[in-house]
Amino acid sequence: MTAPSGSARALVRVFTQRFSCTRRGARLARQLALVELHDWGIPETTALAADAGLVVAELAANAVLHGRVPGRDFELRMTLLEGVLRIEVSDGRADRRPAVRPHAYQAESGYGLRIVDAVAVGWGVRDRLIGKTVWAELTHRAGRRT
């Protein structure tokens, strides 16, 4: 599918899957994201796949840890556009919005969004009818192995 010049980027691929809001669901989300990227022609050995694996792992872990609502799943959505991979993780809680905060010296947790912020070209949060969606965008970066 192509877009007329001057309009939005052309859509290339989309993957959407719901997972149980458990640690196992978060692990499965990362694994399936990497399998899907491989099917799209982006093998695990590329920098984009490695970055995507980190982002999916962190956003899914946050959905399980901070966005869990009993009886509700979280959703992973990946959209591959020309030059951009957009990763979205939606959960059922709108009252717990993620933010990069000052971190305590030698803390054992709380680095997830710092990793997302360092790897992604942009990220943010948007409200949904029920809950929220945290998104991040990745691109091929110059000077990195592809």
Contact in structure between 58 and 33 (CB atoms under 8 Å): no
Who contacts 22 (Cβ-Cβ below 8 Å, separation ≥6)? 64
pTM, two decimal places: 0.81
**Tens digit of each residue's pLDDT (9 = 90 or more) over 53-87:** 999 999 999 999 887 777 789 999 999 988 899 99
| pLDDT over threshold 80, residue 139 | yes
Higher pLDDT, 10 or 95: 95
Higher pLDDT, 17 or 7: 17
Average pLDDT over residues 12-23: 94
Higher pLDDT, 140 or 29: 29
Give the range among 6-20, 44-58, 124-138 with minimum mean pLDDT.
Answer: 6-20
| pLDDT computed for residue 66 by the predictor | 82
How far from chain centre, in Å, is Cα 17? 12
| pLDDT over threshold 80, residue 16 | yes
Euclidean distance between CA atoms 81 and 78, whole angstroms? 10
> Residues 125, 100, 28, CA angle at the centre, nearest 5°?
65
Enumerate the β-bridge partners of residue 74.
19
The candidate with the shortest Cα–Cα distance to 118, out of 97, 95, 96, 141, is 141
State how far the alpha carbon of 102 is from the alpha carbons of 6, 107, 131, in Å.
40, 11, 25
Euclidean distance between CA atoms 13 and 31, whole angstroms? 18
Q: Does domain 11-103+110-139 have CATH number 3.40.50.300?
A: no
